[in-house]
Structure 1
Amino acid sequence: MNEVAMTVLLLALLFVMLGSGIWVAFSLLIVALSGMALFSSAPLGDVLATTAWGASNSWALAALPLFIWMGEILFRSRMSEDMFTGLSPWMGRLPGRLLHVNIVGCAVFAAVSGSSAATAATIGKMSVPELTRRGYPEKLILGTLAGSATLGLLIPPSIILIVYGVATEQSIARLFVAGILPGIMLMVLFMGYVVIWSLTHKAQIPAPDPSLPLREKFARSKRLIPVILLIAGVIGSIYAGIASPTDAAAVGVVLALVLSWFAKTLNLETFKAGLIGATKTSCMIAFILVGAAFLTVAMGFTGIPSLLAQWIGSLHLSPYALLGALTVFFVILGCFLDGISVVVLTTSVILPMVEQAGIDPLWFGIFVVIVVEMSQITPPVGFNLFVIQSLTGRNIVRVAMAAAPFFAILLIALGLITAFPEIVTALPAVMGH
């Protein structure tokens, strides 16, 4: 059987497995075992054992369960209420008023949780009822939440950047630094859209609350101090070179537990629930990583990746054309898989082509994350859409339509970092990581 037929057969098997609802990790393992059994004579058991150990035995991966646990602790704390109270006095005079609390709140929570779904759920639980009660348009409430929650994938500490760093052997600290400016840029673009929409639909935005004295604004903002301390403790220790991402994740867990204790939201029940939630998510990701690593090795034995690389090389695509094709590919894949699965499944095959085209792997990591962010708000498997649907009880199509303008903004952000790669590369270069 020639390589093209092998590729088609294995891809068909993978999509059948994923479409049938089998766990992603099992699907990857079954396809890898089938590929090796059919198209190579390598010893299956030995290769599986060494690959599973190699994929799991990485110190960088230790940061993953710790950051996830930190997010779980904060998810069960009073943090989203504190952020709403602390941010709203400063947003009341901007066009769009308290809709900006959704965006800034998501950006702040993203900086301490690293998860898109956790960001959507935590901020949404507080902001959706509050903004609905005040009479803000539902389309904008849902859209700002769906779009801004994707910042959880980009603003460090990002779980998906840790996975990309491990999969591609890039420095996680440098990836974290590279994510800052694109994250801020996206936040500004989202706020800009809300400002423009509000100025052109003035009748649909409620009247502002009575203005507060400056002293009262600062008094309310005191509730942001714990959050700011947590961000400074985690991110600051990485950027200052004091701690590795793994050390900083441990610091983050301790700080989150302390903050939750002071906020009187930490008890035995919430502690156990956070620990179990973090264990389940971490095991799922670790299992997917093992499956993807074994699939990568199996594909190496079959020779499919080199064939694909040769085929794409024979097309003589320019770097821009390659990025355009990969964007379409990732968005389609993201319609059926979660972001982490997309990254671990594709990077080993795609990275050689990207490097051959002269594209910086560090820059490409941020590019991939923004594309994966887009897939988080595209049906049928946009995880953020599901989270918001379960929060609000609204039809998934309605939620997807509300998120559509923010999908377009993410596309604009891709264009900006492609035209001006310094947005991604400047900070890592300046900070010398």
Structure 2
Amino acid sequence: MSYFAAALVALLAAETMMVLGFGFPSAPVEAPATLVLVHVVALGWLSLLLCGALFQFVPVLVARPLHDNHLPFATLCCLLAGLVLLLCGFLQLDGTLEGDWPLLPAAGSLLALGFVLVLYNLGRTLWAGRPLPLPARFFVAGLCGVAAAASLGLIFAFVLTGLATAPPLADLAASGLPLHIVAGVGGWLTLSAMGVSYRLLAMFILAPEDRRWTSIAALWGGIGVLLLAVGGGAGAVLLNADPTPVFVAAALLAVPVLAAYGHDVIRLYAKRKRRKLETNSLMAAPALISLALAAALLLALLALGQMPRFAGAVLYLLAFGWLSGLGLSQLYKIVAFVTWLECYGPLLGRAPTPRVQDLVVESRARKWFYLYFGAVWFGTVALLAEQALVFRGLALLLLLATAGLVVEFVRTRRLADVAIGPQGQDVPHRPRLLCALVAQP
């Protein structure tokens, strides 16, 4: 819950920045303000959300306990401290913060340490659960992506401050930004999100988890895209060659990968036994549609030769439509389920208990989700039309929708929409907002 809370604060902060015109599109893509905004979204929101979900989800998936239950707190401290120092380091670049402290190397080191702890803890847990189910193999690929993204970020930090001067490192720092983005967004975030969706969607809508050739194609094709874009792109940069053909080839390879993944998701919905979808499963659909729209937009921009000009619109749709939309929709169920397990699980079979759905008011939350996705899609159109002021207005709607969903999460943790206990009695354990304590059998 602490990971989720920190992530949601970062999301609200990022959306507030967009409303105020801090960073892209009101500032250039390479401006320090844009770097602040991008990393608040990528590290503060999406990475913390994913880490919190994986620390909870991976042990369930492989039927093994988390390797070390104490490490997630140290990991969270490293990641938060590194993020704060990183943001201060970006502001130091344009003189907003004065001083000559080595903030970027310190930030890079802390973030690298945090992700090393993530890799170690989840890696040991996955290793103990071999042979791995298909969704867990997506997580392994995602962890390789975060390792590459963190390594490149560390190189950038040391080269920018002059602490690393080796020519290969300088070349990667000068031309490696696309590699950093692909490894982070495409590898770490997207491949991990695909793995989560395969299992969570099947579980929540009661669909068969068949291992089909399309699922295997999505996994190995995604790994191939990551290797081609990051490995091939890095090789091209180090050989002083133009990496653009490599990125174009990787983008074209990603199309059939996403098609295979989309086919699997559509099949899950078609074969489901639960005919009436709950909000988390229903609102996953617009997130998946956003992924398809982003892929189509990417192909169109490549065909028109306009990708450098409108790359921000593609990344916005991926980050807020696909990744954030999927994250918020599943978080809506996760918070309710963990709260139910914590408060009413001990009473199961001994006293009447509410259902998980009784902890939430789905009709109220759906309005916020509709507003959220509408703001994202029209915001993408505003970016393509290069209307920064219109985008800021739509970002305000996005902020309002997100704040509404955060209120729903808090109400769920506070049991505000359900009777406190069976027959008016108190529950054995009242939930804390930032920490879930589930009793062991």
Does TM, normalized by the shorter one, top 0.5?
Answer: no
Normalising by structure 2, what TM-score?
A: 0.28
Higher helix residue share:
1
